[in-house]
Amino acid sequence: MSAKNTAQPKNPAFDYTKYRPFAFAPKITNRTWCDKTITKAPIWTSVDLRDGNQALIEPMSIEQKMRFFKTLVDVGFKEIEIGFPSAAQVEYDFTRQLIEGGHVPDDVTLQVLVQAREHLIRRTFESLKGARRAIVHVYNSTSKVQRDKVYQKNYDEITEIAVQGATFLRDLAKEYPETEWVFEYSPESFSQTETDFAVSVCDAVCQVWRPDLGQQVIFNLPSTVESSTPNVYADQVEYFCQNLPMRKHVIVSLHTHNDRGCAVAASELGLMAGADRIEGTLFGNGERTGNMDIMVMAMNMYSQGVNPELDFSNMSEIAQVVSECNQLPIHPRHPYVGELVFTAFSGSHQDAIKKSLDFNEKHSEETQGVWDVAYLPIDPAHIGRGYQDVVRINSQSGKGGVAYILQRDFGFNLPRWTQIDFSRVVQNEAESRQTELTSDDIITIFEKTYLQQNTLALQNYQINNDENEVTFNGKIVKNGETLAINGKGNGVLSAFVAGVSEQLGKNIHVINYAEHALTQNDVTSTDANAVSYLQLNVDGEIYSGIGTCSSTVSAMLKATLSALAQAGV
């Protein structure tokens, strides 16, 4: 049995007894959401320009809003909440500019937010004059804490506020018959409202709007403050869907926040629980810990083979617009978009990635193009990210990562035994520098270690092929001294090694040899098109060498001298 943690907090103010378990979970015994999966995209609604904007230290200018709006359209949003036009002149002006300037595509619907107060609703309808189609989103808070402590009103009084707001919307919309109106109502703080009361309030709104007679209606169920585990929120949503009398005539929408770090999970489970529509922001900007991140939820679907109906193929450009307009950085570990999310520093991870990619390339017919790579949930290239993001080298990296970079960036396909040898060199360098090594650092170390040793050099040679034997006659330069190399063997390499062994007085044997064409030599400091890898046993010790040249034979001989230089002969 493990020991119980009895540590006491250093600060007595850190007192968990001040809190109580979540109290608003509905009693639901016939839940179905836990047996479902997400198979199609919901209706997506961006609230970046309203809910996201109100949470910024410096709210967006009209110019920034316009830039952001056009990005949302490019991504594929068909419903965009653009602001709170009754609350600020800049919001009103932006709404008018969108409509009067013809910036709203025919398949995009504007959405605006307003409190359930007549003069604010009237101002809202004025701002939308001339819109082809618009969603007017009215709300009032229904939670127990707000009823008791903020408004000090009972159930009936809170319900009356909702009914009055719904009535104002219904009546004022008739003054603008040129626009196709959609009515949306949020029992704000739905997550902290008794679910049966939320159903009751929304049913009262239904009696005013009459979706059963053709009025388009959305009921939005906000997790305004995330207060429970996602499964409880899913129960609340399913209870609502099961018990709202006019459920089949309305769209049920979700709007989750991230106070517990579970906004995406809550929306995913809520979608399984019966919701049709999702509100959120790109990259999760919003009050406190933020809104639900639509990009993450959409890409989660994408990674499961479900069409998200949003286009994030140009993720870096989208991220730049969002970051600049919000004036907020994007965390390097942010799912899908962060600088480091496809990066592996761990040696074992790098090795698994390299082997997976190699396998897929060699077995393309077998894999049929289906993405299945260790540690990479999606192909970075699908969202405009390069494979340069995948493997980066520090002191924790291993042979697989180093080999991957040399192959990807410079065309060197190191055999395993050379990978092991060179990874030790790289690790020592990374530990010495105490920093990450770049691709340029790796090739510099590689060339210095194997290709630019200056103790041994090949000068000239002649090869004679007899019927059963190869004779090598040539010269090498050792520390400025020219040495004659004469040897015989069953091949050029064995003849050269025999001659070198005799001249240097060393016991030398070839253990491993590999070669390949070097097709990416334009990115290295060499002008070679052939590379040879050699592993030698020199007086009982193992050394690796690499040689490059336009001639395969010369590359092989240079690799031998490279290994001998490692041996210090």
Supply the pLDDT for residue 434.
78
At 126, list the tokens.
Answer: 């004025």
DSSP conformation letters of 430-450: HHHHTSPBPHHHHHHHHIIII
> What is the CATH code of the structural domain delimited by 453-567?
3.30.160.270
Please report which residue ranges of 180-310 form alpha helices under DSSP H.
195-209, 230-243, 263-272, 294-303
3-state percent helix, strand, coil for the chain, nearest multiple of 5: 45, 20, 35
What's the Cα-to-Cα distance from 399 to each of 255, 278, 385, 392, rounded to whole Å? 46, 44, 24, 12
Supply the pLDDT for residue 393.
45
Fold of 36-303: TIM Barrel (3.20.20)
Q: Within the chain, which residue ranges are assigned CATH 3.20.20.70?
A: 36-303
* Rounded distance between C-alpha atoms, residue 136 and residue 183, angstroms: 5
Supply the pLDDT for residue 392.
46
Q: pTM score, two decimals?
A: 0.74
Supply the pLDDT for residue 522.
41
Supply the pLDDT for residue 395.
44
pLDDT per residue as tens digits for the range 56-102: 999 999 999 999 999 999 999 999 999 999 999 999 999 999 999 99
Q: Within the chain, which residue ranges are assigned CATH 3.30.160.270?
A: 453-567
Dihedral (Cα; 495, 500, 503, 509), 10-degree rounding: -90
* Rounded distance between C-alpha atoms, residue 71 and residue 316, angstroms: 12
DSSP state of 531: E
Supply the pLDDT for residue 437.
79
Q: Which residues of the chain have pLDDT under 50?
A: 392-395, 521-523, 525
DSSP conformation letters of 450-496: II---SEEEEEEEEEE-SS-EEEEEEEEETTEEEEEEEEESSHHHHH
At 317, list the tokens.
Answer: 């450009």
